[in-house]
Structure 1
């Protein structure tokens, strides 16, 4: 196994949605501040949720079906993998774990050398609009990795080529008190195999005995169905491997719970964790833990 990469942070998480409007309403009801719509040049659009630790959620919808068709025909891996996920699991879910990188081209060469490349790199730009209406151009370069035992889930590294110089502080302030990403939880058989794929992308050693890795900013874990059920008091998603839950750190668990209760959001408490089951516009279970 190659371990020449620096330890990378999780950059963002991709959450396919049938409707961006439904996703925006759901995330807003959960107490998240949702950014203005971002339009990709290949048929998809997003409404991101940004956190103070630099991570973000990317709810993703197809806004231009013809544009997406053309992108798939042109070999766009991002759109092709999104389509594969939707064909297998529907238009709601959690499809991709994304790591930050300073050199996507080197990552792509590494993935090809290890036989885990999912296809050609992707470079693109899109407009970024801040909460004050000011806009700038954001540019990215992506390198994709996958393996047969990860099913329809995939991973890629994201190099931020141009980061808009806009004030995101308002976008990072959330009514539920969320400030950071704590953990990503997947379910499936053979967790060690998936961790063996993800660990080199994250630049770390897989803690196979613990079924987890520790990235630069959060934990990634793979649990079997029964352990997942005990942890979250929810049934595990169907299938041999699924990205299933996201845990956020909040300033006050009591305040977050009060907000969910006032918004009439279905949730339950298990130990020191609040859990919100998946719903339309929220493709994974969400959990909230108090920052230590």
Structure 2
């Protein structure tokens, strides 16, 4: 069995029905966004880039271009078409990869994926408007009991053309994503999957749930009451599987963000030294802002 290479956060897909409306929300929430990008399989996106990962705001804009799932082929477009048919929100978690081919083999050996590596390329634009080449290799993983979230790792072929500090300065002061939060009725049932997917040497379990501490942020699976304590509102699950509920952002000044959001008419609540933007405001997602750790 090939061991899985440890991973860290790379990006989170926020699936919506109207990418422009969602982009307007993110702008009012104090984030800088890139322009609209188009995929040949019918999805369009806009990117919010942080120092350690990014949010991919995604719309199924050209459903006629979507290809179906096939043997050893995961259709990114088909999954998101079906996802937004019944909900909006965080739909997919992607960790970083140094070798997508090796990761795909490791996922298959661990019984969490039997998909071929998916390679694609597109043009990107720098802040000055010049174009650069971008290319990615994805290795997918799945947990059969969790149909509302999918998983992958992403190898950037030209990372120097993608990551750019000019895109990482946000009016709300957001700097990094210290972690993402999934919810499940029984997190312990998903512990083995989390360990195999992240490649973490250790997955920590406690009464609240299970956590993989990666090189680039935490991946948590919380049970509903623990998530309710974190968000300051009632959280329930839609079944036995995992859902990708929230992204945590580290910021320098909570009061500054709170004032910005009230000025921009966004619903936000302060809870336990955090600011929470609820899913009814954030297109089905929960955004959690917390003070950046010093040192």
Which TM-score applies when normalising by structure 1? 0.91
Q: Does 1:206 align with 2:207?
A: no
The 8 Å contact of residues 36 and 130 in structure 1, kept in 2 or not, is answered as: no
For the Cα contact (< 8 Å) 2:33–2:167, is it kept in 1?
Answer: yes
Alignment coverage as a number of residue pairs: 287
Cα gap change, 1:155 to 1:105, in 2 (>3 Å): same
1:120 equivalent in alignment to 2:116: yes
User: Which secondary structure state, in structure 2, belongs to the residue aligned with residue 23 of structure 1?
Assistant: helix
Distance 1:246 1:3, change over 3 A: farther
8 Å CA contact 2:4, 2:106 repeated in 1: no
Determine helix, strand or coil for the equivalent of 2:167.
coil
- Are 1:95 and 2:87 an aligned pair? no
Number of the residue aligned with 2:57: 59
Larger deviation, residues 261-270 vs 118-127: 118-127
Residue 90 of structure 2 aligns to a residue whose secondary structure is coil
Structure 2 stretches of 5 or more lacking a match? none
Q: Render the CA deviation track for 1:37-95: whole Å, top value 9, x for unaligned.
A: 11112111110100122x00001101211112x355794432232234234x32x1111
Specify the alignment match of 1:32 in structure 2: 31
Contact 2:2 2:109 in 1 (8 A): no
Structure 2 Cα separation of the partners of residues 187 and 288 of structure 1: 18
Q: How far apart, CA to CA, are the structure 2 residues paired with 1:129 and 1:71?
A: 30
Partner of 1:250: 251
Residue 51 and residue 167 in structure 1: after superposition, are their counterparts in 2 closer, same or farther (change >3 A)? Answer: closer
- 2:224 pairs with 1:215: no
Alignment equivalent of 1:146, drawn from 128, 142, 167: 142
Residue number in structure 1 paired with 2:260:
259
8 Å CA contact retained: 1:10, 1:218: yes
Cα gap change, 1:231 to 1:194, in 2 (>3 Å):
same
What is the CA distance between 1:165 and its match in structure 2?
3.1
Is 1:181 aligned with 2:177?
yes
Q: CA deviation at 1:261?
A: 1.6
Runs of at least 5 residues in structure 1 that lack an aligned partner in the other structure: none
Task: With the length of structure 2 as denominator, give the TM-score of the two structures.
Answer: 0.90
In the TM superposition, residue 239 of structure 1 has moved relative to its aligned partner by 0.9
Report the CA distance between 1:112 and its aligned residue: 1.4
1:22 and 2:25 are equivalent in the alignment: no
Equivalences for residues 226-237 of structure 1 within 5 A: 226-237=225-236
Distance 1:82 1:41, change over 3 A: same
Provide the rounded CA distance (Å) in 2 between the counterparts of 1:223 and 1:167. Answer: 31
Change (3 A) 1:73 1:5: closer
Q: Deviations over 1:132-156 (max 9, x none)?
A: 2111121001011112222321110
User: Residues 71 and 264 from structure 1, CA distance in 2 versus in 1: closer, same or farther, beyond 3 angstroms?
Assistant: same
Give the drift of 1:184. 0.8
Secondary structure, counterpart of 2:93 in structure 1: strand
Q: CA deviation at 1:179?
A: 0.5
The 2-side partners of 1:71 and 1:239 are apart by 26
CA drift of 1:200 comes to: 2.2
Q: Is the 8 A contact 1:17 1:281 kept in 2?
A: no
Root mean square deviation, CA, Å: 2.1
Q: Which moved more, 1:41-50 or 1:209-218?
A: 209-218
Aligned to 1:270: 271
Q: Which structure is higher in RCO with an 8 Å CA cutoff and minimum separation 6?
A: 1
